[in-house]
Amino acid sequence: MKLTFYWQTLAEMELPYQVFLHVVNEKGTLVTQQDRTPGPRSKQPTTGWLPGEVIDHPVELPLPPGIAPGRYQIRVGLYFPPTGPRLFIVDSQGQPVSDFVEVTTFEVEAR
């Protein structure tokens, strides 16, 4: 599966966050993941981002062989390695609502 994400910061970032990409099944169980430094070939750490600059982040995420038929979600977010914290998604009042964005869903059909 090939995807491209586009990131833009409102202010300089002091920490080198990693991008996490998760594929989860209908029960929310992690099926596969990828964690990387942002940018093409992982070459644009968040500490180098300028306010307003758009960073493209191409990703190739293989699905596991024999993945079960069903609906899956793709989730993406940023975290400070190795184990967190994650950056929060905030609403229009600046209140945290989540620590990931659900990008899309897709379905795997039985063969």
Residue 110: the pLDDT is 87
Q: Per residue of the chain (111 residues), give pLDDT as tens.
A: 899 999 999 899 999 999 999 999 999 999 999 999 999 989 999 999 999 999 999 999 999 999 999 999 999 999 999 888 999 999 999 999 999 999 999 999 987
Residue pair 108/69 in contact (Cβ under 8 Å)? The answer is yes
Apex CA 60: angle with CA 106 and CA 104, to 5°?
A: 25
Burial pattern 43-59, b for ≥16 Cβ within 10 A else e, equals ebbbeebeeeeebebeb
Q: Where are the domains of the chain?
A: 2-108
Q: What CATH architecture does domain 2-108 belong to?
A: Sandwich (2.60)
